[in-house]
Chains A and B, each alone.
Chain A
Amino acid sequence: MTGSAIAMFIFGCAVFYGGLAWCIYIAIKKGRNGFKE
């Protein structure tokens, strides 16, 4: 793989999965997600 492709791979992972991890962390911390009973 070329260096630029690896760089875009890291960039994509950081935004998609890093962002997701951060959002899930907030959701778990506050416990305010889910459907009503």
Chain B
Amino acid sequence: MAAIGSAVGLGNIWRFPYVCYQNGGGAFLIPYFVALFTVGIPLLVLEFGIGQWFGTAAPGSFRNVNKKWEWAGWWGVLSTFIIAIYYSVIMAWCLSYLFHSAGLVWGNNAAAFFNRFLGKTSSPFILGSIRPQILFALLFIWTSIYLILYKGIKSIGKVVAITVPLPTILLLIIAIRGITLPGALDGIDFYLTPHFAKLASPSVWLAAYAQIFFSLGLAQGIMIVYASHLRKKDDVTNNAFITALVDGGTAFLAGFAVFSVLGYLSYSTGASIQSIAGSGMGLAFITYPTAISNLPVAASLFGAMFFIALLTFGIDSAFSMVESVTGGIEEKWGMSKEKATFLVCLIGFLAGVPFTMGGGSYWIDITDHFISNFGLVFVGLMECIVFGHIMGAEHIREHVNEVSDIKLGKWWEYLIKFVAPAILIFIAVASFIELLNKGYEGLPSGALIAGGVIVLISLIASIVLMKVKA
């Protein structure tokens, strides 16, 4: 349940539906399922298997193979911590918007309201001032994460028993309400009508593999630390299948909640669906609030439901990221759970403060792009090399088959040793070429260099953490 909570996050709501629509509509499900079964689930089985076998967090698992690889575990953990820092800021936005939804304060111009809310500056190099409202919301988010985590795995179990089903139910209600609105079916048509010709394009397949890799929270050390709490007899492969299918199934459902409402927005405003369809922050904080304002009845209620869903989908992903870090610290330096959690939450909050400033949203975008496309992809590659080639994937396969009902064949080893690394290299190279050719979101090259520096610093810090004596 905790692994499901971790995998299902904001990306399922605001990324999958748009990626699906943009890459062939319903036809995208074909590369998506191929990616799920050739890389997503095999890597998830690998991470669950590693965690259960070693019973340690990611740095400890790499150290158990060979001390000199410990840095790779820390790199994954630090990358995850960096993600947690800005992810919690986005959750702080969601929390603020939850209160704003009561009065639908964004009015008819949600884009202008969002910029005012962020105090958005004209450049990432003009940071502006701290937004007190976002800062207090951020403090609330980090306090919540601390309170959930400091008692350990049992309290996580209690929290995810609420935070996993609740947003799914809310999403279902929003989707059902959405498809009863006029124009909704046109939106669903946009989402699902297949364009099979697009499957000939390599970029569609790349998008499917990238979506699977990032959505499942692979290479972040989260699944390893969660699986370290599994009993030795617990089924690994079936748990991996369940986690991956719930993650994908939630994203698929989110598509109905998003595109039905976009269809209605198109119907009520006369704008084409192509012109209003979007992803990420724009979808959650501009397009969807605009659509909510246009709802004929109970607009505030649906606004509140949408942001509660985002908050509860996000909170278990956020604390799983922190758990990945605290797990590594506890093991290496023997720090108590409470102390490690307090330290990580305090640093996370303080490091998040710059993101609450007017230029913060630019840096969230830059950091996310570089940490995901380069940091995490390289950590994933290291996992395949260290556990697949150096340790030997056959050992993990034997262990996993001993405890699992679904038996893995030799093909799983080939996927871990050759297919997954090849695809991860392809993702990194394609991202780098695109960055060189097109830049990123029209941001100045100095900001992009800074993004690369963040990845480099996380790598150096990982090596330093490995060298610091236990």
Partner of A32, one of B26, B33, B233: B233
Known A-B contacts A1-B185, A12-B26, A20-B246; A32 and B234 likewise in contact (beta carbons under 8 Å):
yes
Q: How far is the CB of B222 from chain A (nearest CB, A)?
A: 15
B188 touches A32 (CB 8 A): no
What's the Cα separation between A8 and B403 when bound, in Å?
A: 35
Partner of B26, one of A5, A24, A35: A5
B157 touches A16 (CB 8 A): no
What's the Cα separation between A19 and B242 when bound, in Å?
A: 8
A35 touches B230 (CB 8 A): yes
Known A-B contacts A5-B188, A11-B26; A36 and B230 likewise in contact (beta carbons under 8 Å):
yes
Chain A neighbourhood of B405, CB < 8 A? 26, 30, 32
Q: What is the chain A residue whose CB lies nearest that of B186? A: A1
Give the segment of B102-110, B189-197, B307-315 that binds chain A: B189-197
B166 within 8 A of A: no
B301 within 8 A of A: no
Interface size on A, residues (CB 8 A): 25
Q: What is the chain B residue whose CB lies nearest that of A17? A: B249
Partner of A35, one of B157, B189, B403: B157
Residues of chain B from 223 to 246 with CB closer than 8 A to chain A in the complex: 229-231, 233-235, 238-239, 241-242, 245-246
Chain B neighbourhood of A16, CB < 8 A? 245, 248-249, 252
Q: How far is the CB of B41 from chain A (nearest CB, A)?
A: 10
Known A-B contacts A33-B238, A36-B229; A23 and B245 likewise in contact (beta carbons under 8 Å):
yes
B26 touches A8 (CB 8 A): yes
A19 touches B241 (CB 8 A): yes
- Write the B235-266 contact mask toward A (1 if CB under 8 angstroms, else 0): 10011011001101100100000000000000
Known A-B contacts A12-B29, A16-B248, A20-B249; A26 and B238 likewise in contact (beta carbons under 8 Å):
yes
Q: How far is the CB of B54 from chain A (nearest CB, A)?
A: 15
Chain A neighbourhood of B234, CB < 8 A? 32-34, 36
Q: What is the chain B residue whose CB lies nearest that of A13? A: B252
- Write the B321-353 contact mask toward A (1 if CB under 8 angstroms, else 0): 000000000000000000000000000000000
Partner of A30, one of B2, B33, B235: B235
B239 touches A8 (CB 8 A): no
What's the Cα separation between A9 and B153 when bound, in Å?
A: 37
Q: How far is the CB of A28 from chain B (nearest CB, A)?
A: 11
Known A-B contacts A1-B189, A12-B26; A33 and B239 likewise in contact (beta carbons under 8 Å):
yes
A35 touches B249 (CB 8 A): no
B178 within 8 A of A: no
Q: How far is the CB of B460 from chain A (nearest CB, A)?
A: 35
B25 within 8 A of A: yes
Known A-B contacts A5-B189, A16-B249, A17-B249; A35 and B235 likewise in contact (beta carbons under 8 Å):
no
What's the Cα separation between A16 and B229 when bound, in Å?
A: 27
Residues of chain B from 171 to 212 with CB closer than 8 A to chain A in the complex: 185, 188-189, 191-194
B246 touches A4 (CB 8 A): no
What's the Cα separation between A5 and B194 when bound, in Å?
A: 7
13 A-B pairs whose Cβ atoms sit less than 8 Å apart in the complex: A4-B193, A5-B192, A5-B193, A11-B26, A16-B245, A16-B248, A19-B245, A23-B242, A27-B242, A35-B153, A35-B157, A36-B231, A36-B234
Mark B residues whose CB is within 8 Å of A.
2, 25-27, 29, 33, 153, 157, 185, 188-189, 191-194, 229-231, 233-235, 238-239, 241-242, 245-246, 248-249, 252, 403, 405-406
New A-B pairs, 8, CB < 8 Å, besides A9-B188, A19-B245, A20-B245: A1-B192, A4-B194, A5-B188, A19-B241, A34-B231, A35-B2, A35-B153, A36-B229
Ranked nearest first, the 8 interchain pairs of A and B with the lowest CB-CB distance are A8-B26, A16-B249, A5-B192, A36-B231, A20-B245, A32-B235, A5-B193, A23-B241
